[in-house]
Amino acid sequence: MGLFRPAKTVASPSGDYWELYVSKTALPGWRSSDAGDTGIGQAGALPQLALLELPLALVSFLWSGVLVPLVRMIVLLPVAVVRGRRSHAVRIEAITTFPERKALLWTTTDAHAPRVLDEIVAGLAQGKVVQPEGAVYSGTE
Amino acid sequence: MLGRAIAFVRAGVPVRRLRAYGRDGADAYDLFDRLERGPARAAAWNAYVCQTYADKLVQAGERIGLVPFDTVRMVRALYALVDAWLVVAQGGEAAGARLDLELPAWGTPVRSREQLVGMRETLYALRTCVAFDLQGRAEPGADLAAVDKALEAVDALWIERPSPELRGGIGDALASGIRKACVLGCELAGGG
């Protein structure tokens, strides 16, 4: 069971390639803050001023688009890992990236995880999204 | 102690206050047993379902002494239904009346641990009652398989610290099982 290595891979009849990840940890999402919206380049602003605002926009982007989400991730990740280790819940994510990214999520328990994973793989191999017993299908993430 | 502190921060209604509110409908337990099969007994069954459901939800909150507000809304809606169905059962209005019980909806998709405990206890109680009512029936027809399937689905997902996704799934299975037990019980009570 690993966060970054697929437990299984499968190709559907339509050619979609799915990677299945089994983990106990729900990774916190990467969320940018809205503070980066500085309103640069809005109608009515002088072009000379816009040039001066460029460094400000870069700092603002780094702050709200990189630094804040990174700190949030660093703080929340250990909490998510500890919570996952204490729980008997298991997440199974099926991810395909082509032609567009799509992620499907099932949640099951330790006891049912191997069987549920096998049933999901068998279903995807036939081009179906199954809903095995002992698991909750939450749809696309 | 910690539970009480959490409940204080979350805010809710003390269990004893809700218990007092539900005492009016305590007749529902007796009435269902006393009546002969027919529309009045079916109405009494509906009152019994609502009383059991509400009582079990309150009981599940006993551990922390307070019942959270979303549970309180559900419990009060259920107790109101108990009163309405008792009037139908006792007032002789059941004959010719629509006896379908529409249970109140929760309004949110994910249930808390305590709510799930209350719902599960309700389903066990209704299942026991329906199984008892099925005994001695010569003709096949109504059966417990659908209720048992819902219980199996719940048991398969029941773990110590369920994630929100699991709680959502357990809650759906429990709500479906309660609905099925409710319909089956009403059918049996009505003599169907």
Q: Which residue of A has its CA nearest to B152?
A: A134
**Does B176 lie at the interface with A, CB-CB under 8 angstroms?**
no
**Angle at CA of residue B99, ends B190 and B183, nearest 5°:** 70
Number of other CB atoms surrounding residue A52 within 10 Å: 9
Question: Sign of the C-alpha dihedral, residues A78, A79, A84, A85?
Answer: positive
Do β-strands A8-11 and A17-23 pair in parallel, antiparallel, or remain unpaired? Answer: antiparallel
Question: Per the CB < 8 Å rule, is B161 touching A134?
Answer: no
Strand, coil or helix: what is B99?
Answer: coil
Question: Is the peptide bond preceding residue A114 cis, with omega within 30 degrees of 0?
Answer: no
Mark yes or no for CB contact B153/A133 under 8 Å.
yes
- The total of other beta-carbon atoms located within 10 Å of residue A54's CB is 11
CA distance A86 to chain B (A): 8
SS3 state at B146: helix
Q: Do B156 and A112 touch (CB under 8 A)?
A: yes
Q: What is the pTM of this model?
A: 0.79
Mutate to test the interface with A, among B111, B148, B152, B159 (most CBs of A within 10 A): B159
Q: What is the pLDDT of residues A78-92, one digit of tens each?
A: 887 887 777 889 999
* ipTM greater than 0.85: no
CA distance B134 to B156: 26
So what's the pLDDT on residue B12?
Answer: 77
A89-138, pLDDT tens digit by residue? 999 999 999 888 999 999 999 999 999 999 999 999 999 999 999 999 99
